[in-house]
Structure formats: structure tokens, C-alpha cells
Amino acid sequence: MKTLLLPSGVSVPVLGQGTWRMGEDPSQRKAEIAALRLGVDLGMTLIDTAEMYVGAEEVIAEALRDRRSEIFLVSKVMPNNATRHGTIKACENSLKRLKTDFLDLYLLHWRESVPLEETFEAFQLLKRDGKIKDYGVSNFDLSDMKEAMALNSGEEIATNQVYYNLLHRGIEWDLLPWCRKRALPIMSYSPIEKGEMSHNSKLKSIAKRHNATPTQIALAWLIHQKNVIVIPKAGQMEHVRENRRSLEIQLSKQDLIDLNNAFPPPHQKDPLAIL
């Protein structure tokens, strides 16, 4: 598995697993558990979840409780809980649902009115108490990142999880280069546009060259980007296998040119895309 280093020096796989919408449909539970376990077997050991994903944390607990030492577990606090006290409570509730003692990474899901200082102070306390190993943010545009990193404890931010895929390349204008300069990884969410990449006609011809699927090309392109972690969600085992194989695809110079033509990079600053 290809890996990259977080600023804290921890190594994480560049391809992980998302869990949004897992645990919502009881008829899918068995399949979701099997998919998560298979993903871990295949090296996709970074698991992304959030207190907002009702039911997903419980599915993860059921799927991976016996494999805690193998996984890198990420969860998120909702902005309305992100006060000093609320963040600590929210984390403890996530730990209970996940049936674990600690999170490897804890993120502020997005920013609202609670001052960042308060949330980061709580993150520091959680870190001190061993409840989280690292912390970071999500849906932060460049101005938010600059503000956050200027704060006490802002320097310890481990990642910014954002909407980034071939159809949403806005961060390449400023946020991505800025983070790269600081060796701060970006985590790409909705990397396959919630499954829609699988029938994207612009990807089909490139996919054919590699005997691959359009989804695999979309993932391979993200994996090719420096300093990017990718977290597709797959509740079906065949999707997990397909996504894992995207790591083996080597995109050629011509593929990258064709992808740039089909999905142009930004020519100006656009506000950060948010799902």
C-alpha cells in the first residue's frame, strides 16, 4: 500500500475507506461489515467516519473491533458541538459508539460560529488524555487554514479534508499548493462523486486503455496527486475490490493531458466546493 506521512510522522495509507450512509439501512449491514473488513484486508486501513453519520460508527465497531490495532480511525465533531466542553463530550460519545479508547485523528467537520481557539483547546486536552492522537479540520478554504494555522496549536493540524475530485478541482488554485508547501496532507472526500464517476463518459476511453473502469481512473488520478489521501465509500465488496485496484494503475503523460482537457484545472480562485 502506498503511504504518506502526517505532520506528526505517522504513516497512513493514501487509499482509505469512507463510511457516510453506512448503518442507515439494516438490510445492508452485513454487506457493509464485510466490505469494511475486506478493505482492511486489502490495506485500506484508514477508516473515515463522523458523529454526523448516524449509525456508521456502530457499524465500524461491529466490523473492526477485533482489528483496532490494524486501523487508522478518523472521526469528526459537528460544528454545533465544537465548543470546549462540547468537543470533549462529542469525542467521548464517538469513542463509545466506536467501542474504542482513542481516535487516530479527530476533525472539526466544518466551521461555524464557535471560535477555533475553543475547539483546538479541546483537541489539545483530548490529545493530552490520550483520547485522540492527532487532530485536523475539514471543509476549510485557504483563508480558514491561514487563520487556523496562526493560532496556538494550529500548527499541529494534521490534515484538511475537502471535496476534491476530477469534477471539483478548485483547490488546485491555491489551497492544495499552500498545503503541499507545508507537507500538510489533503484528504479527498466524495472522490468518485458519490458513485457518479462510474458512468462518466469522459473517463471511458482512458479507462479502456488500462482495461479499467471509469471509477478506477478517477481514483488513480487522485492517488497520483502528491500529498492527497483518498477515502471512497463502498458498501459492496465488489466495489472495494475495484477501488483497491486503482492503486495499480499508472497513468501515462498522455492520460494526464487527456484528463486535464476533459476536466480542466481552475483558472481562477473559486470558493471551496462543499457537499
Question: Phi and psi dihedrals of 185, rounded to 5?
Answer: -65, 145
| Nearest to ligand NAP of 9, 51 (CB atom) | 51
| Nearest to ligand NAP of 179, 192 (CB atom) | 192
Distance CA 226, CA 115 (A): 31
Q: Please state the closest distance from residue 189 (CB atom) to ligand NAP, in A.
A: 3
Burial of 199: CB neighbours in 10 Å, binned 0-12, 13-18, 19+: exposed
How many other C-beta atoms lie within 10 A of the C-beta of residue 56?
27
| Nearest to ligand NAP of 111, 233 (CB atom) | 233
| Nearest to ligand NAP of 119, 215 (CB atom) | 215
Q: Which residues make up the interface to ligand NAP (CB under 6 A)?
A: 18-20, 48, 109, 138-139, 161, 189-195, 198, 215, 231-236, 239, 242-243, 275
- Cα end-to-end distance, the chain, whole Å: 28
Q: Please state the closest distance from residue 206 (CB atom) to ligand NAP, in A.
A: 16
Decide the pairing of beta strands 3-5 and 11-13: antiparallel
Distance CA 131, CA 148 (A): 22
Q: Please state the closest distance from residue 73 (CB atom) to ligand NAP, in A.
A: 12
Q: Please state the closest distance from residue 136 (CB atom) to ligand NAP, in A.
A: 10
Distance CA 11, CA 229 (A): 11
| Nearest to ligand NAP of 22, 259 (CB atom) | 22
Distance CA 1, CA 42 (A): 8
Q: Please state the closest distance from residue 105 (CB atom) to ligand NAP, in A.
A: 12
Please identify the residue of the shown chain whose CB is closest to the bound ligand NAP: 18
Contact partners, residue 171, CB within 8 Å, separation at least 6? 162, 164, 186, 272
* Region for 227 from its dihedrals, namely left if φ exceeds 0, alpha if ψ lies in -120 to 50, beta otherwise: left
Q: Please state the closest distance from residue 68 (CB atom) to ligand NAP, in A.
A: 18
| Nearest to ligand NAP of 86, 191 (CB atom) | 191
